[in-house]
Structure 1
Amino acid sequence: MLSDPLALLRGWSRDPIAVGLPVASSAWTARRLAQAVLEAAIPGSGPVLELGAGTGPVTQALIEAGCPEEQIIVVERDAELCTTLERRFRDLRVLHGDALELGETLARARIPSVSVVLSGLPMRAVAPRAAARCYSVAFGLMPSGGAIIQYTYGFRSPVDVDESVLKLDATFVGREWRNFLPMGIWSYRRSNDDATAHTTK
């Protein structure tokens, strides 16, 4: 089953802040995100966790890059998009829940750890406390050196590391211009983590 653009459009009409844009990431962007995620993943520490999967273009790119479906967990707030993902990916674990309440969502699913986190959440539109709580839980699921790969339509870091209550190191991975709108990709790690062995290129 291919990506359903109407499902994404309906999701956007129900909750435009949560969905961001009613247009899925381009194939070029999806492949670039998948590469960044798999390069940052810490082997043996759990599945890939994707926050806000939409209709699954990046999920598909992860699978095509060699990540098994059963090693990917997605958290999606919109019920119809969850159904779309379950139909498109038979072995994907889809959690219907709010990624900003990540602790509760993952506790219910009994997920103790992950290898890397991919976030498509519109962090600039999220209240700072909620954003910090989400990131804090995400980092708590990963070993030292774990990374959150965050993508954004903006031209600056979607997380203000100087103002955040979390001490983060931000790395600009790159910008994919073959997307509507152009997509910026960032990598965040805790400042006190030893990330030398897990560098996003």
Structure 2
Amino acid sequence: MARPGQDTRTRRGIHMTTTEHEMPVRNHLGLFMKQLVRKPGRIVALAPSSTGLAREMVRELGPETGSVIELGSGTGKITSHILARGIPQERLAMFELDDAFCALLSQEFPRAAVMQLSAERCDEAPLDDVGAVVSGLPLLSMPTKVQRRIVGGAFRKMRPGGIFVQFTYGYRPPIDRPVREELGLSWTVSPKVYRNIPPARVYTFRRAA
């Protein structure tokens, strides 16, 4: 829902040029650290995702992917890499709860949909033909029932063959076993990305046809 006086075009893609989606997002480390100090319970990452991790997260995306939903967009580091893979802003929806991050995302990506809603409502994204959900959320720190609502909603929203991309700092799949089994998920995992704080792996989940 748009705030009073807010330009609602920040929530609905309209038009964009090729140069717009290729523009890299500026470094907003200062804002990230400020919000980390203010809201340590909500922001659990020690630093924004590295360039190496962001590239690994979007490796399977391309113009043929269709629309993309990003969960936990933060300062937009991964967002800029999503767009650089040929996804128009008008085909992107970002879910983020933090006020300051939402304001920044609306400024940096004015033709994408910025949704200040829980990721549990990702199936409400104003998009069709969704081919991928890219998640920067700390899923393993969430109860299984919350994971079920997020991941289940993502696969309900996506077209058949859609992918759910999630990074993790640990050694086990970043979705609890009951959720994986209920949804019939298979996955591939990337090599560890050492140039990230801390090092991380990227899991790409698919649902059986």
TM range (shorter): 0.7 to 0.9
Match of 2:191 in 1: 174
Give the secondary structure class of the aligned counterpart of 2:202. Answer: strand
Please report the TM-score for the alignment, with normalisation by the length of structure 1: 0.81
Judged with a 3 Å threshold, the aligned counterparts in structure 2 of structure 1 residues 110 and 91 are, in CA distance, closer, same or farther, namely closer
The alpha-carbon deviation at position 114 of structure 1 amounts to 1.4
Specify whether residues 163 and 114 from structure 1 end up closer, same or farther in structure 2 by C-alpha distance, changes over 3 A only: closer
**1:54 Cα offset (Å):** 0.7
Q: For 2:179 and 2:164, how far apart are their aligned partners in 1?
A: 18
Match of 1:61 among 81, 94, 100: 81
Which runs of structure 2 are paired with 1:93-108 in the superposition (5 Å)?
Answer: 93-103=113-123, 106=124
Aligned-residue offset at 1:184: 0.9
For residue 192 of structure 2, give the secondary structure of its aligned residue in structure 1: strand
Contact 2:102 2:116 (C-alpha < 8 Å) held by counterparts: yes
Contact 1:75-1:99 at 8 Å conserved across structures: yes
Aligned residue pairs: how many? 184
Q: CA deviation at 1:47?
A: 1.3
Q: Does 1:147 align with 2:167?
A: no
Q: Which runs of 5+ in 2 are unaligned?
A: 1-24
Displacement of 1:112 in angstroms is: 4.6
- 2:49 is aligned with 1:29: no
Partner of residue 196, structure 1: none
Letter of the 1:25 partner, please give it: S
Structure 1 Cα separation of the partners of residues 70 and 47 of structure 2 = 18
TM-score (norm 2): 0.78
Q: Which runs of 5+ in 1 are unaligned?
A: 194-201
Distance 1:122 1:54 in 2: 12
1:168, 1:99 → 2: CA distance? 19
Match of 2:43 among 19, 22, 41: 19
RMSD of aligned residue pairs (Cα, Å):
2.2
Post-superposition CA distance 1:168-197 (Å, at most 9, x none) = 11221332111111121001122x32xxxx
1:54-100: CA deviation from partner (whole Å, max 9, x where unpaired): 10111111222322222211110111101111112222221111113
Q: Tell whether the 8 Å contact from 1:153 to 1:182 is kept in structure 2 after alignment.
A: yes
The 1:163/1:54 distance shift into structure 2, 3 A limit, reads closer
Q: CA deviation at 1:113?
A: 4.6
Q: Indicate how the Cα distance of structure 1 residues 163 and 137 shifts in structure 2: closer, same or farther if over 3 A, else same.
A: closer
Q: Within 5 Å, which residues of 2 pair with 1:152-167?
A: 152-161=168-177, 164=180, 165-167=182-184
Separation in 2, partners of 1:162, 1:129: 10
Q: Please tell me the residue identity of whatever aligns with 1:180.
A: I
Which of 38, 52, 55 aligns to 2:72? It is 52
Cα distance change, pair 115–163 in 1 and its aligned pair in 2 (3 A): closer
Q: Secondary structure at the match of 2:115?
A: strand
Residues 111/70 of structure 1: CA separation in 2 closer, same or farther (3 Å cut): closer
Of 65-74 and 135-144, more deviation after overlay is shown by 65-74
What is the CA–CA distance in structure 1 between the aligned matches of 2:122 and 2:179, rounded to whole Å?
Answer: 22
- Give 2:145's aligned residue: 129
Matched, 1:118 2:134: yes
Q: 2:112 aligns with which of 82, 85, 92?
A: 92
